Amino acid sequence: MATDATLPTRPSGAGGARLLEPPNGQERGRLRRDRLIPIVTVLATVVTIAPLIAIIAFVLVKGLPSLNGQLVANAAGNPSAPGALNAIVGSLQMVPMALLLGGGLGLLAGIYLSEFAGSRTRQLFGFLVDVLLGVPSIIAGLLVYSTLVAANGSSAFAGAVALSVVMFPVMMRATEEVLRLVPTSIREASLALGISGWRTVLSIVLRAARAGLLTGTMLAFARGFGETAPLLFTAKGSDALNIGDLSSTMSALPLFVYQYSRLPDRFFVAQAWSAAIILLAIVLAINVAVRARSINTRVE
């Protein structure tokens, strides 16, 4: 047995004593940093959650006092008891319409990319859609302003179109990703039964992915429901209760919050906060529902 001459020889049994040696300066510094880093990251995490809690608390404190029946019963144009019904009803018209336009388009485009496009087309369009997802929503508003609004004036329809531009890429990405999770073996099983290609997509693939598609739809809906910027120059806002007249201006909840919070009258500012509660509650409810669903499906 050859021993390596370069290795220092120590008496055996020294290990225990070395364990008991007090830490030197370098080691003490390292120990301190080891304790510090987790604390810093925990603090950072708390700070990032703080805005959510602050938002909810702030909105509740400021908005609860004037959150009453009048707010949801009357339109802002009501001379004796103004409310925000026009904004609630406006959101409930424009957002579903935008979902029909942008969501429907996004669904079809997502189906194309997942089921029919070649890999290069898929990459190219995927990239373009990611860019579209990153475009500030005010630009979507400007686009519709310079086309539809320039030609026909402000309208609820223009507002819905602007919202659909924001919702389209959300829906398309969600659709594509969810459909690609459906295993190829399921498509092959369908085709091997003599089921045609489009039937396979419609009745087998979409059905297999329906939970994920619903999630995508809800996310697109929540996204559109919370957007203000696309509506600023398009639907413009209106104090009158507009039901079904898509060629006139129309209010929406986020638009109401934005416009009323800037008015000098404290009563209207308080109403803006109350409307913010409703807006926040709806958007958060959708998001929480989506998360709860995805947790459930993961457990299955």
Partner 1 sequence: MTVTEPRPGMAQPVMLAPARAASAIEPELRPLSPNEGLRIDDLNAFYGSFRALRDVTLQVRPRSVTAFIGPSGCGKSTLLRSLNRMHERVPGARVQGKVELDGVDVYGPAINPVRVRRVIGMVFQKPNPFPAMSIYDNVVAGLRLSGTRDRRVLDEAVERGLTRAALWSEVKDKLRQPGTSLSGGQQQRLCIARTIAVEPEVILMDEPCSALDPRATLRIEELITELRTAFTIVIVTHNMQQAARVSDETAFFTMDDDRAGYLVEMAPTTTLFTNPTQPLTEDYVSGRFG
Name the site residues for partner 1 (rule: CB under 8 A): 118-119, 183, 185-186, 188-197, 199-200, 203-204, 207-208, 210
Closer CB to partner 1, residue 68 or residue 203? 203
Q: What is the closest distance, in whole angstroms, from the C-beta atom of residue 191 to partner 1 in the complex?
A: 6
Q: What is the closest distance, in whole angstroms, from the C-beta atom of residue 183 to partner 1 in the complex?
A: 7
Residue 250's CB is within 10 A of a number of other CB atoms, namely 33
Closer CB to partner 1, residue 4 or residue 300? 300
Q: What is the closest distance, in whole angstroms, from the C-beta atom of residue 268 to partner 1 in the complex?
A: 50
Tell me the CA distances in angstroms from 289 to 96, 221, 257, 267, 285, one per residue in order.
18, 13, 24, 33, 6
Q: What is the closest distance, in whole angstroms, from the C-beta atom of residue 186 to partner 1 in the complex?
A: 6
What is the residue type of 240?
A
Would you call 291 exposed, middle or buried from its count of C-beta atoms within 10 A (0-12, 13-18, 19+)? exposed
Closer CB to partner 1, residue 9 or residue 185? 185
CA 123 to chain centre: 23
Closer CB to partner 1, residue 27 or residue 188? 188
| Non-local CB neighbours of 102 within 8 Å, separated by 6+ positions | 163, 164, 165, 166, 167, 168, 171, 220, 224
Q: What is the closest distance, in whole angstroms, from the C-beta atom of residue 125 to partner 1 in the complex?
A: 17
Tell the residue number behind the tokens 């021993």, with chain if given: 3
Closer CB to partner 1, residue 32 or residue 210? 210
Closer CB to partner 1, residue 39 or residue 193? 193
Q: What is the closest distance, in whole angstroms, from the C-beta atom of residue 288 to partner 1 in the complex?
A: 24
Closer CB to partner 1, residue 190 or residue 249? 190
Closer CB to partner 1, residue 62 or residue 122? 122
Q: Are 148 and 157 in contact (CB under 8 A)?
A: yes
157-166 as b/e: b if 16+ CB within 10 A:
bbbbbbbbbb
What is the residue type of 174?
A
DSSP secondary structure string, 75-142?
-TT-SSS--SHHHHHHHHHHHHHHIIIIIHHHHHHHHIIIIIS-HHHHHHHHHHHHHHHHS-HHHHHH
Q: What is the closest distance, in whole angstroms, from the C-beta atom of residue 122 to partner 1 in the complex?
A: 12
SS3 (DSSP) at 27? helix
Phi, psi of 248 (to 5 degrees): -105, 170
Cα atoms in the Cβ-side hemisphere of radius 13 Å centred on 151:
6
